[in-house]
């Protein structure tokens, strides 16, 4: 009896995508599965035919051979077309393949071992001074973490021995629980999903393959880092159990407050007190930068709160070559602890300026003129 075309069996076109082939297979397998057909032999044969077609069309190499030579490509045991149900695979295994991905499986029916658990990532909070963050520095840090066990080389098994394949899950790390039509995969209770069992564990790590230890690392802080920036050290996190790969270590920068400067991205801000005389008459003053002192020219009649920009005196960006600015806000300092003679001189100055207040103190005059108008408006 000649076989039907595999594309016809699944009801898909010859240019069907892999997802369409899989979708058709699931639908037909659900329809013809023996658990649903109550022992109907004809439906059982149809189920076999559907599975055989899927095994060929879901494999790129077999599908290419079938497209070129048809069923002849698999005759005489070439690719096992008619023997699709050979090798001891029953209906339950076939149906488990269909729905394994739905129930979190994927290990059974694909010949794969359980996936090793990668070690956890770690975060280390690193406090830096503003100078360290701006200029960069190489620092040593101590991180409490799990490291690979030396005596067993991370395997968890005593030296000279090795782990054995789990007899419960046969190395898959999962077992299948079946109830009628449905199959649910769960973590193997014997090996906890590892796929292997250690009968003679290492005494140093008690079979875990890792031990807790303070690890000293050298961290290079690039110039320009800011609070919240993270530096990733690949493979320096916790070691995984039983030789699994280590996680990563993230060093997160926290820049401490500075006594003089306030940082805003790549710009620096500071307040510079100046005397009443310098503000009125002008002059040169020295202001601090991260590279030393520089001169700043104060023009005459400078008011408190005036902002001066020193270009290129800020922070070089960690992500580019641009450099921020230093913003200096001048604050006029009122004289304190005046002697009698000094106080008299100020009173004389005030008397001389008193008749020309609007000329010498325009802001003061404007403010009180506005206050007077405000109260006059309330009365009217």
Q: Which domains does the chain have, with CATH numbers?
A: 6-99 (1.10.287.110), 122-255 (2.10.230.10), 262-333 (2.60.260.20), 349-379 (no CATH)
Concatenated DSSP letters of 235-302: T-SPPPGGGPPP--EEEEEEEPPPSS-EEETTEEEEEEEEEHHHHHH-EEEEEEETTEEEEEEEPTTP
**Consecutive 10-residue runs of the chain (380 residues): their mean pLDDT?**
82 88 87 74 85 88 82 59 38 43 38 60 90 89 88 84 84 74 75 81 84 88 89 87 84 90 90 87 88 89 88 86 88 84 82 63 60 64
SS3 217: strand
d(CA 294, CA 317): 22
| pLDDT value at residue 179 | 61
Name the pTM for this structure. Answer: 0.55
């Amino acid at each position: 009896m000649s076989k039907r075309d595999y594309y016809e069996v699944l009801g898909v076109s010859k240019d069907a995508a892999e997802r369409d082939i899989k979708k058709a297979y699931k639908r037909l397998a659900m329809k013809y599965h023996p658990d649903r057909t109550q022992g109907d032999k004809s439906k059982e044969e149809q189920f076999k035919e559907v599975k055989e077609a899927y095994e060929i069309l879901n494999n790129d190499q077999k599908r290419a051979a079938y497209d070129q030579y048809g069923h002849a490509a698999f005759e005489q045991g070439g690719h096992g077309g008619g023997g699709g149900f050979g090798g001891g695979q029953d209906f339950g295994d076939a149906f488990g393949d269909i729905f394994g991905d739905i129930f979190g499986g994927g290990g059974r029916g694909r010949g794969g071992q359980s996936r090793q658990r990668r070690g956890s990532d770690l975060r280390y909070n690193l406090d830096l001074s503003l100078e360290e963050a701006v200029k960069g520095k190489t620092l040593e840090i101590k991180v409490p973490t799990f490291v690979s066990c030396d005596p067993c080389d991370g395997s968890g098994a005593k030296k000279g021995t090795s782990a054995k394949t789990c007899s419960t899950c046969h190395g898959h790390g999962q077992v299948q629980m079946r109830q009628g039509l449905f199959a649910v995969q769960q973590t193997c209770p014997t090996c906890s999903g590892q796929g292997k069992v250690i009968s003679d564990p290492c005494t140093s790590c008690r079979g875990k393959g890792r031990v807790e230890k303070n690890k000293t690392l050298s961290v290079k802080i690039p110039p320009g880092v800011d609070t919240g920036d993270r530096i990733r050290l690949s493979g320096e996190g916790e070691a995984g159990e039983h030789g699994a790969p280590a996680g990563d270590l993230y060093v997160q920068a926290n820049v401490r407050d500075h006594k003089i400067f306030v940082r805003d991205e790549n710009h620096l801000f500071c307040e510079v007190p100046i005397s009443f005389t310098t503000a009125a008459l002008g002059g040169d003053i020295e202001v601090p930068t991260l590279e030393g002192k520089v001169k700043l020219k104060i023009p005459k009649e400078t008011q408190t709160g005036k902002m001066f920009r020193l270009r290129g005196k800020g922070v070089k960006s960690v992500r580019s070559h641009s450099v921020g600015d230093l913003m200096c806000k001048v604050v006029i300092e009122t004289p304190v602890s005046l002697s009698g003679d000094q106080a008299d001189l100020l009173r004389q100055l005030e008397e001389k300026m008193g008749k020309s207040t609007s000329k010498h103190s325009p802001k003061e005059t404007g403010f009180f003129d506005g206050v007077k108008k405000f109260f006059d408006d309330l009365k009217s």
